[in-house]
Each structure stands twice: as C-alpha cells, then as structure tokens.
Amino acid sequence: EAGVAQSPRYKIIEKRQSVAFWCNPISGHATLYWYQQILGQGPKLLIQFQNNGVVDDSQLPKDRFSAERLKGVDSTLKIQPAKLEDSAVYLCASRERTSGGSYEQYFGPGTRLTVT
C-alpha cells in the first residue's frame, strides 16, 4: 500500500511570495489533515477535510492560507503572501474512516518551507 505523498519536499521562498503544497492521501482514506510543525513544537492542525468538505479550519490563518480538496482525493495548501513566521514543516496526514476516533493517522514526509 502506497503511503501519503507530498511535494515538494523542500521549498525556499522570499517573504511576500506565494507557495503551494500538494498532498495525495492513501487511496480510500476519507479524512485528510494539514498540519504546521514549527521547529521544536508539536504539529498544529490547520485544516481537516472529510471527503471534500471542511470539518475544522479554526486554526487556519485565512487571510493568507487556503486549502482545497477537490473531488475528495488529493489536496493543495497555499500561502499567499508568505511571512517569515510561516517557516515550518507542513505535514499532510490521512485517516481511513470518517467516523470514530480510534483510527490512526498516516503521515506524509512533510514539506520543509523556509521563508527568507
């Protein structure tokens, strides 16, 4: 079974530029998550999708961040314009079932973003 795929793995941009990250979850996984992990901290949930609908985006800075999951499969996360504090690893994860809290998340390798 293929894992969660993310691209690119690394990205360096200047502040005020825009950037997009892509995630392809495990086939058949209905729930998809985007996290931001700043160095030395735990992952912070940015947005959670269930199929192609948003379940939670309370911690997504909506003035600059946007995410979509068209057709309920792969997803993109965009930052426009980027700030220095957006430097972090962006993790994508997927989960098999939409209901029930006991199903584990499977994580991708992450995209390391550096904003200069």
Partner 1 sequence: AQSVTQLDSHVSVSEGTPVLLRCNYSSSYSPSLFWYVQHPNKGLQLLLKYTSAATLVKGINGFEAEFKKSETSFHLTKPSAHMSDAAEYFCVVSDKEGGSYIPTFGRGTSLIVHP
- Which residues are near partner 1 by CB under 8 A? 3, 33, 35, 40-45, 48, 50, 55-56, 91, 93, 99-102, 104-105, 107-110
- Measured from the CB atom, the residue of 5 and 81 that comes closer to partner 1 is 5
- Measured from the CB atom, the residue of 33 and 82 that comes closer to partner 1 is 33
Residue 43 near residue 37, CB atoms below 8 Å: yes
What's the min distance (Å) between Cβ of 113 and partner 1? 15
What's the min distance (Å) between Cβ of 107 and partner 1? 4
What's the min distance (Å) between Cβ of 56 and partner 1? 5
Q: Residue 80 has which token pair?
A: 């426009």
- Measured from the CB atom, the residue of 27 and 99 that comes closer to partner 1 is 99
What's the min distance (Å) between Cβ of 21 and partner 1? 15
